[in-house]
Structure formats: structure tokens, C-alpha cells
Amino acid sequence: MKLIPKKLMVLVVALAALFTFAAAAPVRADDWALTGTGVRVKTIAFIDIDVYEISHFMKQTPASRSKQAVIDADVPKKFVWKMLRDVDKEKIHDALTGAFAMNGYKDQAKIKAFVGAFQGELKEGARITIQYDPEKKTTTVAVGGSSASVAGVDFMKAVWSIWLGKIDQPNLGDQLIGRLK
């Protein structure tokens, strides 16, 4: 099929508009809207090390485009990590425990249950899912064959604050809500 230049130009403009819209709009899969993706970086002696890629999804996005609105949203939402390097269990435990403390969350029983799902070294390529169920008011972390569910809206807000609250890499939170309108 031979396209004349005018039709080709119309096709190119239409495709460009479609890709521009797609880049700005949240990506949806199975009713989950991707609100953003970033990479968790650890800086050691002036060297940045990529630790994991993290994406955030919601079934219902908040009316306001803010990290606090996403933290407070009592809707189905989840984080999905993909490990970019091997990290031992103790480092993950320390990082999560420290992040809860940085955000002022102190319920040690809930923190211990959550962190306990990380039972071994996380290998490069491993996937971790942290999902909130508003009907059950539980946050579930799945790490390989291990998982833990922790009850409470307070805990959900504490978990979401790890990446969207006080963090030593504030631009990561901005990236995780970057697709919200």
C-alpha cells in the first residue's frame, strides 16, 4: 500500500499525539493506574548504587496530586519492586526499620511482622509486592514464597510514608506520583 505524503504526515501527527497523551496519562492494567516509577539509590562514599526499581499503582487516584494525598488514600494501591542487585536480609531489615523510625512510626509488633517477610537475601531480579486492601484494612508484603499481612490504616500510611514521606531520596517520592494529574 502506497501512502501519499499528506496521508503520511497526518498519520505521523496522529501517532505523535497518541504517544504524547500516553506519556502523560497514567498507564492502566487490570484497573491499576501506574502513578510513577523510580529507582532507589544508595549512596556509599560518593558512589550511587541502584538498589531496586519501584513502581506505584492505584485503582483510584486521589483528587489532589500530592504525596500526602496518596499516603492518606484508603483505596487499593501497591508498590512493586524489582531488585537491581543482590541485597542481604539484614540490610533490607535495617533500611525498612530505619524508614519507619524516620517517619515516626513506632508500633514494633507491626514493623516486625512486616519486615519478617524478608527472610533471605534478595537476589537481583527478585520481585516484591506491597499491596493495601481497603476492604480488609490490611497491607500485605509478598517476597518470593514468603508474605505477611499487617492490619490497620495506620500501618498502611506508615508503609506509604517510607517512599512518599520523609526519605533520604525525596525525588523518588516525586517520581512515584509523577504520572498523577
Contact present, 33 and 57 (Cβ < 8 Å): yes
- pTM, two decimals, is 0.83
Kindly report the backbone phi and psi dihedral angles of residue 70, in degrees, each rounded to the nearest multiple of 5, phi listed first: -70, -40
Apex 134 CA angle, 144 and 38, nearest 5: 55
Question: Which parts of the chain sit beneath pLDDT 50?
Answer: 1-4, 6-26
How far apart are alpha carbons 136 and 17 in whole angstroms?
A: 41
Domains along the sequence of the chain with CATH? 28-176 (3.50.70.10)
Q: What is the DSSP letter of 28?
A: E
Residue 7: per-residue pLDDT:
46
Sign of CA dihedral 159, 165, 167, 169: positive
Residue 9: per-residue pLDDT:
41
- Nearest residue to 98 (alpha-carbon basis) of 158, 157, 50: 158
Residue 181: per-residue pLDDT:
77
- Nearest residue to 114 (alpha-carbon basis) of 137, 143, 88, 134: 143
Burial 64-76 (b: 16+ CB within 10 A, else e): eeebeebbbbeeb
H or E stretch including 81? Answer: strand 77-83
